[in-house]
């Protein structure tokens, strides 16, 4: 016999399912469908409905083309649609006032959904937290930008996917009490591109007051190429529209699937190094990039995985099938030009270190070109910018805590790739899609329980319960096979090799 639960939001009643002490409300609309005249426009509040609306299965994900390494964490979406602005809520009780976690999934702003099994919120909700996961517009539908696309009501012409996240925050403010959540105790969190969006939102004070803390797991925080300037984004949009035989305004008339597929093909063409559909510095919502924006005025929990780079260069499905889209340099001769290009693309400051010095330092403790490359990539793209953000946050007088995830996934003695921490935070290491990739089920469960407890403490008390981040002595709480313990930061990151991230003038 199925047990149902009812929640009444401003738009009407919702029927969810109760199981194992947790009520799940899935596929809840939080904005009007962004289709037709609302494509490439700011999200509009959801309209009301009559009767009790079933919230028993997730809504469709945004249109996307799943990539190989993205399948490590996420199953292919069961359904895709341009009509995708749905969220999911898990709650231990629809009465009372429990703290809330609003989670923004990763996927390079091009893949993923709020319904992935790895982020099912039931286990975390059983720890006394109301969990909300969201879909938002991806790829072309969430990121094309141009002055001619300006919304007549808001004046905004970019960052549609980021605006969806702001709309979800407003929905939580107005509706989460119906699920037993406390709108005054919301933590905004995300992983990878979702975490980068969380950082941008908090650093710019967008919808300030609707969240009281942030969690950023492995956010890429460098400026272009990960983000886009308005001029570059406009040129990209013009080139895409021309390839479709329409002007910029005509992008709202093209079939949504055709637009998504054409942009996906266009994004990997020789004309552009990477798609310009990531967050855009439009001068309205986004004025600065995370590495030099003011510190967010809320507590921060931030961290990374020990070998982030393995996601792109050394990832398997746990049974030997390769998923990574790129190859690491195989020889030292190949390493030097690749390292020079990486530093040029991802180091945002004038005083870049000599590449030979970089290689010599990373060769300490790494005896092959692929190992040196993966350590360098992890530091430069993730760890160093995040340490910089943590230091700026702490020096601004705001509480900050750092963690490192070092649990070795299946088939490896020391690989903890990008995104591997996500199912641990949600208590889903045994979930069918990821369990074989994670391996070591008993040990994984123990680490997951520890991480869930720490994340719950941050959501409830605004502190995970370990020592705050000290820029003078950077340390992390490390989660791995040996449990949890405080540890100093990886030597190369703390040694001042990247002066722009650690100099006093940047602090």
Average pLDDT, the chain: 92
Q: Is 192 assigned a catalytic role?
A: yes
Determine the pLDDT at residue 492.
66
Active-site residue, from 82, 207, 308, 404: 308
Compute the distance between CA of residue 32 and CA of residue 91 in angstroms, rounded to an integer: 24
Q: Is 393 assigned a catalytic role?
A: no
Q: Which of 114, 97, 103 is nearest to 179 (CA)?
A: 97
In a 13 Å sphere around the CA of 429, the CA atoms on its Cβ side amount to: 24
- Residue-wise pLDDT for 478-498, tens only, equals 999 999 999 998 766 666 678
Compute the distance between CA of residue 200 and CA of residue 204 in angstroms, rounded to an integer: 6
Neighbours of 430 (CB within 10 A): 14
Compute the distance between CA of residue 128 and CA of residue 296 in angstroms, rounded to an integer: 26
What is the SS3 assignment for 357-379?
Answer: HHHHHHCCCCCCHHHHHHHHHHH
- Residue-wise pLDDT for 333-376, tens only, equals 999 999 999 998 888 777 788 899 999 989 988 889 999 999 99
Domains of the chain: 3-281 (3.40.50.1820), 300-506 (3.40.50.1820)
Task: Say whether pLDDT at 505 is over 90.
Answer: no
Active-site residue, from 93, 192, 415, 416: 192
Compute the distance between CA of residue 342 and CA of residue 365 in angstroms, rounded to an integer: 20
Compute the distance between CA of residue 445 and CA of residue 435 in angstroms, rounded to an integer: 10
Across 277-289, average pLDDT: 92
- Residue-wise pLDDT for 193-232, tens only, equals 999 999 999 999 999 999 999 999 999 887 666 788 999 9
Q: Is 263 assigned a catalytic role?
A: no
Active-site residue, from 418, 448, 490, 493: 418
Determine the pLDDT at residue 70.
74
- Residue-wise pLDDT for 460-480, tens only, equals 999 999 999 999 889 999 999
Cα angle for residues 200, 204, 210 (degrees, 5° grid): 90
pTM: 0.95
Distance of CA 374 to the CA centre of its chain: 21
Across 404-419, average pLDDT: 92
């Amino acid at each position: 016999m199925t047990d149902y639960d009812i929640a009444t939001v401003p738009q009407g009643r919702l029927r969810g399912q109760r199981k194992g002490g947790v009520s799940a409300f899935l596929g809840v609309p939080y904005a009007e469908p962004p289709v037709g005249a609302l494509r490439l426009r700011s999200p509009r509040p959801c309209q009301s409905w009559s009767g009790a609306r079933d919230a028993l299965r997730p809504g469709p994900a945004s249109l996307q083309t799943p990539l190989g390494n993205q399948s490590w964490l996420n199953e292919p979406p069961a359904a895709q649609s341009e009509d995708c602005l749905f969220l999911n809520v898990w709650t231990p009780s629809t009465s009372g006032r429990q703290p809330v976690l609003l989670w923004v999934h990763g996927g390079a702003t091009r893949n993923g959904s709020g319904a992935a099994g790895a982020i099912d919120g039931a286990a975390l909700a059983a720890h006394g937290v109301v969990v909300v996961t969201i879909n938002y517009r991806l790829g072309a539908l969430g990121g094309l930008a141009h002055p001619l696309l300006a919304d007549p009501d808001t004046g905004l012409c970019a960052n549609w996917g980021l605006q969806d996240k702001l709309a979800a925050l407003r929905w939580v403010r107005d509706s989460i009490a119906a699920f037993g959540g406390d709108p005054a105790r919301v933590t905004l969190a995300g992983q990878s591109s979702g975490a980068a969006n969380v950082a941008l939102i908090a650093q710019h004070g967008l919808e300030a007051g609707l969240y009281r803390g942030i969690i950023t797991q492995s956010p890429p925080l460098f400026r272009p190429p990960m983000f886009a300037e308005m001029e570059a984004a406009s040129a990209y949009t013009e080139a895409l529209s021309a390839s479709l035989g329409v002007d910029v305004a005509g992008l709202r008339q093209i079939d949504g699937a055709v637009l998504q597929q054409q942009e996906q093909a266009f994004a990997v063409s020789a004309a552009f190094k990477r798609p310009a559909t990531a967050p855009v510095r439009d001068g309205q919502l986004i004025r600065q990039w995370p590495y030099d924006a003011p510190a967010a005025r809320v507590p921060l929990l931030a961290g990374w995985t020990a070998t982030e780079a393995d996601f792109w260069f050394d990832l398997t499905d746990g049974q030997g099938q390769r998923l990574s889209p790129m190859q690491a340099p195989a020889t030292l001769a190949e390493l030097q030009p690749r390292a020079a290009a990486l530093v040029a693309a991802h180091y945002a400051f004038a005083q870049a270190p000599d590449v030979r010095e970089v290689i010599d330092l990373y060769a300490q403790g790494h005896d092959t070109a692929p190992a040196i490359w993966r350590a360098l990539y992890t530091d430069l793209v993730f760890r160093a910018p995040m340490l910089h953000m943590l230091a700026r946050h702490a020096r601004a007088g705001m509480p900050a805590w750092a963690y490192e995830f070092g649990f070795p996934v299946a088939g490896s003695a020391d690989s903890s790739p990008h995104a591997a921490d996500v199912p641990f935070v949600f208590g889903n290491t045994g979930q069918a899609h990821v369990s074989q990739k994670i391996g070591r089920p008993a040990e994984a469960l123990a680490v997951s329980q520890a991480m869930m407890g720490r994340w719950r403490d941050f959501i409830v008390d605004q502190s995970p319960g370990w020592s705050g981040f000290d820029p003078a002595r950077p340390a992390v709480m490390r989660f791995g096979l040996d449990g949890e313990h405080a540890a100093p930061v990886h030597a190369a990151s703390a040694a001042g090799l990247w002066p722009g991230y650690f100099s006093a003038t940047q602090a």
